[in-house]
Amino acid sequence: MLRAGRTQKLTVGRVSEYGLYLVDEEQHEVLLPNRYTSLADKPGDEKEVFVYHDSEDRLVATTETPLLQAGEAGYLKVVDKTAHGAFLDWGLHGKDLFLPNRNQQGGILAGRSYIVYMYEDAVTGRCVATCKLKSFVNNDLITVKPRQKVALLVASESPIGFRVIIDNRHWGMLYRNQLFRPVAIGDRLEGYVRRITDDNRIDVSLQQEGYAQVKDSADTLLRLLRDNGGALPLNDGSAPEEVARLTGMSKKVFKRSLGVLLKSGSVAANEHGIRLVK
């Protein structure tokens, strides 16, 4: 079934002067304009495309990858405003994402970026954005569990840390005292669920805990060494701030990871730092 706001695999049904007409399993057609086709395309070929409504309210396909799909939250820039709403840079050629006035909160300014959620309007079937996230992002029914790997979107900042959107579904907190790398609103990060409280608050971390954290950090340290010519000016006596700056790890995690690499014979250490053992 053809639905706006989603990436789908469709089959080339026929070729026209305007482009390729792609069909789904029910033989519904959508046009893939010439700008996204090649002379090698032929009926029967499979294409992975994103489907959306054009300015004339017709479904159309593109091979471009949008910044957001239906059911996802993101940090998009306002490129224009009208009496009816704002338009956001969606990452698609010649097509912006509409943010209706009814879906706005506070003052929306052109040139600024905002956290929004994209959904398919139940009446028109068109994809629109909203700043009112409560209906889509909440902790009413938790679908994640402790230690689970999750996708994070940094939504806002507070004195204690950053509020994040987890897997486009839930709110979580990333505490400042557990950060060892720069973080900014709009960043997409990979994280882990640390704790879920009795009142459904979710705490997250950018590092795994326990042995899995050490193994992952040891692999990261090896990669950093390779990327820096096989050496880093760090050792057990390095300042925590310097360790965080160069590795994104806490001093504790760095020392444990270094211990793993030393024990395996992968690296050697002295007063000048650590280096790969060839």
pLDDT band, very low/low/confident/very high, at 262 (cuts 50, 70, 90)? confident
Q: Is residue 135 part of a domain?
A: no
Domain encompassing residue 57: 6-62
Structure tokens at 208: 């795994």
Q: Is residue 67 part of a domain?
A: no
Q: Is residue 121 part of a domain?
A: yes
C-alpha to C-alpha distance for 189 and 173, rounded to whole angstroms:
13
Structure tokens at 151: 């996708």
Structure tokens at 86: 């704002």
- Are 16 and 45 in the same domain? yes
Number of other residues whose CB lies within 10 A of the CB of residue 270: 8
pLDDT in tens, 82-121: 999 999 999 998 899 999 999 999 889 999 999 999 999 9
- Are 44 and 94 in the same domain? no
Q: Is residue 139 part of a domain?
A: no
Q: Is residue 136 part of a domain?
A: no
Q: Pick from 103, 130, 157: which residue ends a domain?
A: 130
Of 116-120, 208-212, 274-278, the range with the highest mean pLDDT is: 116-120
Please, are residues 152 and 172 in contact by the beta-carbon 8 Å criterion? yes
> Coil, helix or strand for 253?
helix
Q: Pick from 186, 205, 224: which residue ends a domain?
A: 205
- Are 221 and 268 in the same domain? yes
Q: Tell me what pLDDT residue 211 has.
A: 54
- Are 48 and 92 in the same domain? no
CATH number for the domain spanning 244: value is 1.10.10.10
- Are 79 and 111 in the same domain? yes
CATH number for the domain spanning 177: value is 2.40.50.140
Q: Is residue 1 part of a domain?
A: no
Beta strands in the chain (DSSP E): 6-16, 19-23, 29-33, 46-53, 59-62, 72-81, 85-92, 95-100, 113-120, 127-130, 149-158, 161-166, 170-175, 188-196, 202-205, 231-232, 267-270, 273-276
Amino acid present at 12: V
- Are 182 and 237 in the same domain? no
Alpha carbon distance, N-terminus to C-terminus of the chain: 55
Q: Is residue 27 part of a domain?
A: yes
Q: Tell me what pLDDT residue 213 has.
A: 65
For residues 53-65, average pLDDT: 91
Q: Pick from 169, 189, 205: which residue ends a domain?
A: 205
At residue 215, does pLDDT exceed 70? yes
C-alpha to C-alpha distance for 117 and 137, rounded to whole angstroms:
9
- Are 174 and 189 in the same domain? yes
For residues 120-137, average pLDDT: 93
How many domains is the chain partitioned into structurally? 4
pLDDT in tens, 139-186: 999 999 998 999 999 999 999 999 999 999 999 999 998 887 889 999
Antiparallel, parallel or unpaired: β 149-158 and 29-33? unpaired
Number of other residues whose CB lies within 10 A of the CB of residue 63: 14
Q: Is residue 222 part of a domain?
A: yes
Element (H, E) at 259: helix 251-264
pTM score above 0.85: no
Tokens 């704790």, located at residue: 195
Cα-Cα-Cα-Cα dihedral of 186, 204, 171, 78, to 10°? Answer: 0
C-alpha to C-alpha distance for 206 and 162, rounded to whole angstroms:
12
Of 128-132, 211-215, 270-274, the range with the highest mean pLDDT is: 128-132
pLDDT in tens, 7-22: 999 999 999 999 999 9
Own/partner long-range contacts of 124-128 (Cβ < 8 Å, ≥24 apart): 125/3, 125/4, 125/53, 126/4, 126/53, 126/57, 126/98, 127/4, 127/5, 127/52, 127/53, 127/70, 127/97, 128/97, 128/98, 128/99, 128/100, 128/103
Tokens 């996230």, located at residue: 133
- Are 215 and 272 in the same domain? yes
